[in-house]
Amino acid sequence: MKLKHRVLGKSGIEVSEIGLGLWAAGGGDWGAPDAEADSAALAAIETALEAGVTFFDTADVYGPWHSEKLLGKAMLGRRDRFVVATKIGWQGFDDETRSTAYETVEQLVAGVETNLRRLQTDYVDVIQSHIGFRESTMEVFLEGFEKLYDAGKVRAFGVSSSDFEYIKAFNHNGRCATLQIDYSILNRTPETEILPYCKASGIGVIVRGALAMGLLTGKFSHDSKFRNDDFRHNWLTDPEQRSVFEEDLGKVEMLQPLVRPGRTLAQAALQFVLQHDAVTTVIPGARTAKQVLDNLAATEAPPLSAEESGLIDQVTPPGGGRKIWPA
């Protein structure tokens, strides 16, 4: 298996077109981690690395902290083989004032340095603001990221958001190099304005949520169960979320013709994202080595035909759909 590589926008950093998202590896919203889960996550990272994956995405809030620590452990003695992206912003966020805990540049820089310590590295390739909307400390993040860039502690910086006006504000001086965004067959809203803007502005696009929290694996049904500490448990217990879940299952059923010999629904979903010319890389989560290999096999699966692309347009028209919370 030979993965293709793409350049992450104006950063000039080359990354594998399929990376590894490490949100679930941290536990937290996906259930508390334990030794068995940690061992599986480290095996998934090792499998991805040996298969040619170079891009790994994490965040301080994943766990919290646990995902970064696991990735740091995996990188020991071979940092040069990893292109690392992490995020900062939600730890200590004040819900009342709707602002982050980083009121000064010094606080922001110190915060990122804790990311580095957990990752056991003296730099990260990409640092991202994890806050998806404009709030009072945005300029602190921008100035702090510039300072970290000048000090050689980050190679590029960007933002994780689906808010077009905020994305433009974050890039007001043209220095934002990356955008991480929820984009999938079920959520094509970025196609209207955001993806064209990124392509025109030299912003590398990192896609999260391409499998829609597992919906686009096709493995869920009306009888699916989730652990009580898995955020998707609310899909079953909250009446409003249950209704949306049922609707999503209907759309997934309509997409079943995308499954064919040599290609799963999940692989078709990854292919769909990667065929957009504004997208640099997609970071499906994986908690086991098998999930990693299944995702990477999308690069060798039969490509989507014009007829299959037409089916996708019928299920979710271009620019349509909705964000699958909390991606």
- Of 162, 158, 181, 180, the closest CA to residue 170 belongs to 158
Contacts of residue 160, Cβ cutoff 8 Å, sequence gap at least 6: 87, 128, 129, 130, 131, 132, 179, 180, 181, 208
Cβ neighbours of residue 120 under 8 Å, at least 6 residues apart? 72, 73, 75, 76
Q: Which of 62, 102, 166, 183 is catalytic?
A: 62
CB neighbour list of residue 126: distance below 8 Å, 6 or more residues apart: 8, 11, 13, 83, 84, 85, 86, 154, 155, 156, 157, 158, 177, 178
Residue 34: strand, helix, or coil = coil
The Cα–Cα gap between 43 and 207 comes to 23
Q: Which residues of 268-303 are buried (b: 16+ CB within 10 A; e: fewer)?
A: bbbbbbbebebbbbbbbbbbebebbebbbbbbebee
- Rounded CA-CA distance 227/76 in Å is 33
Which spans in 191-321 are helix H? 194-201, 234-237, 239-254, 265-274, 289-296, 306-315
| Spatial contact of 222 and 276, defined as CB atoms under 8 Å apart | no
To the query of whether residue 62 is one of the catalytic residues in this protein, the response is: yes
Q: What angle do CA 169, 21, 113 make, to 5 degrees?
A: 65
Token pair listed for 158: 């960007």
Catalytic residues: 62
